[in-house]
């Protein structure tokens, strides 16, 4: 019988030949800690994977600001295959780690999700450190990544002249990178962010309006602004927003998508 996580062999009690099982178990434990999982797509040996809320492991894409590296596969798998993945540990001699530079961090390619590279450019966060020309320590949480880039998206059905309230969980403090609003037609929108659910002026963090007096279908604001959550009821990571579709010529009710990207500090 094999254990569920490390896949250790557990010999039957009284079995005479224990050394084969022990030798196999020692080879397994050399890799570090393993965890059983299920591939959600075809993956290659040595791919770095992220686990979704559905429990399936997919190739980690560093271009996605809101996902994290969790596992590494040590064998090629088809979609739906169950296997034991490396959750933390040292892996060598798989023949796919030649890009690693001993003593340097290891990253995942922004152009080929899942694939290990040595370059930081566009790679978001490191997943470990190389210790040999064909090996590295897989440790996705070993080096703190500050600030952490998070992205939140919502769609709001706006009525002309009405103020609509929404909220995003961005953490206790951080800095805004960009706010992008996209409507189906020409819109004139007023966007505000508050640190309190009352959405009162004393708690105003930032305010922007699309196009001044011009109606537009897409509005991008990258001015940047810091935030610190001051909501006395929760002291949580929630930032509150209001979006108003302002009355103007050619403006009508519309569904507007709001995408906000933040650098979260804590």
Per-residue model confidence as pLDDT tens digits over 147-158: 778 889 999 888
**182, 133: one domain:** no
**98, 183: one domain:** no
**152, 259: one domain:** yes
Max avg pLDDT among 53-67, 95-109, 251-265: 53-67
Q: Where are the beta strands (DSSP E) in the chain?
A: 33-39, 48-51, 56-59, 71-72, 82-92, 105-108, 116-117, 128-132, 135-138, 148-158, 163-169, 173-187, 189-194, 204-209, 216-221, 226-228, 238-245, 254-264
Of 84, 117, 138, at which residue does a domain stop? 138
**132, 168: one domain:** no
Residue 13 within any structural domain of the chain: no
In the structure encoding, which two tokens stand for residue 151, read together?
A: 């992205």
What is the structure's pLDDT at 184? 58
Q: Which residue has the higher pLDDT, 224 or 134?
A: 224
**159, 95: one domain:** no
**175, 71: one domain:** no
- Which residues, 6+ apart, have CB-to-CB distance to 88 below 8 Å? 32, 33, 138, 139
Q: Which residue has the higher pLDDT, 14 or 223?
A: 223
Per-residue model confidence as pLDDT tens digits over 38-76: 999 999 988 999 999 999 999 999 887 678 899 999 889
**175, 246: one domain:** yes
- Quote the CA–CA distance of 21 and 56 in Å, as a whole number: 30
Of 78, 104, 138, at which residue does a domain stop? 138
Say if residues 257 and 155 touch (Cβ distance below 8 Å).
Answer: yes
- Structural domain count, the chain: 2
Residue 11 within any structural domain of the chain: no
**219, 195: one domain:** yes
Range of the domain at 162: 148-264
What is the structure's pLDDT at 176? 92
Per-residue model confidence as pLDDT tens digits over 190-203: 889 998 888 888 88
**45, 127: one domain:** yes
Helices (H) and strands (E) in the chain, counts: 1, 18
Q: Which residue has the higher pLDDT, 230 or 58?
A: 58
Residue 250 within any structural domain of the chain: yes
| Average pLDDT estimate for 129-149 | 76
**44, 102: one domain:** yes
Answering whether pTM is above 0.75, one says no
Residue 23 within any structural domain of the chain: no
Of 138, 162, 180, at which residue does a domain stop? 138
**154, 132: one domain:** no
Say if residues 97 and 138 touch (Cβ distance below 8 Å).
Answer: no
What is the structure's pLDDT at 6? 67
Instruction: Find the CATH number of the domain harbouring 226.
Output: 2.60.120.220
**152, 241: one domain:** yes
Residue 198 within any structural domain of the chain: yes
pLDDT-derived band at 261 (thresholds 50, 70, 90) equals very high
Say if residues 193 and 262 touch (Cβ distance below 8 Å).
Answer: no
Residue 65 within any structural domain of the chain: yes
Q: Which residue has the higher pLDDT, 246 or 2?
A: 246
| Average pLDDT estimate for 6-25 | 70
What is the structure's pLDDT at 64? 79
């Amino acid at each position: 019988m094999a254990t569920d996580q490390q896949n250790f062999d557990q010999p039957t009690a009284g079995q005479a030949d224990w050394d084969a099982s022990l030798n196999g178990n020692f080879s397994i434990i050399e890799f570090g800690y393993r965890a059983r999982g299920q591939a959600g797509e075809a993956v290659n040996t040595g791919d770095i994977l992220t686990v979704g809320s559905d429990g399936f492991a997919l190739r980690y894409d560093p271009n996605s600001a809101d996902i994290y590296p969790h596992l590494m596969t040590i064998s090629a798998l088809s979609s739906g295959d169950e296997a034991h993945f490396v959750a933390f540990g040292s892996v060598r001699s798989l023949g796919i780690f030649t890009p690693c530079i001993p003593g340097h961090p290891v990253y995942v390619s922004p152009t080929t999700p899942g694939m290990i590279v040595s370059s930081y450019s566009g790679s978001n966060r490191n997943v470990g450190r190389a210790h040999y020309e064909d090996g590295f320590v897989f440790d996705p949480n070993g080096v703190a990544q500050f600030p952490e880039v998070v992205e939140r998206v919502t769609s709001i059905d706006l009525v002309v002249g009405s103020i609509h309230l929404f909220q995003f969980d961005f953490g206790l403090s951080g800095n805004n990178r960009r706010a992008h609003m996209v409507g189906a037609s020409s819109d004139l929108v007023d966007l505000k962010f508050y640190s309190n659910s009352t959405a009162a002026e004393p708690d105003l963090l930032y305010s922007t309006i699309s196009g001044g007096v011009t109606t537009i279908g897409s509005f991008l604001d990258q001015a940047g602004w810091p935030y610190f959550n001051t909501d006395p009821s929760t002291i949580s990571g929630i930032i509150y927003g209001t979006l108003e579709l302002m009355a103007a010529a050619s403006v009508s009710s519309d569904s507007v998508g709001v995408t906000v990207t933040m650098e979260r500090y804590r």
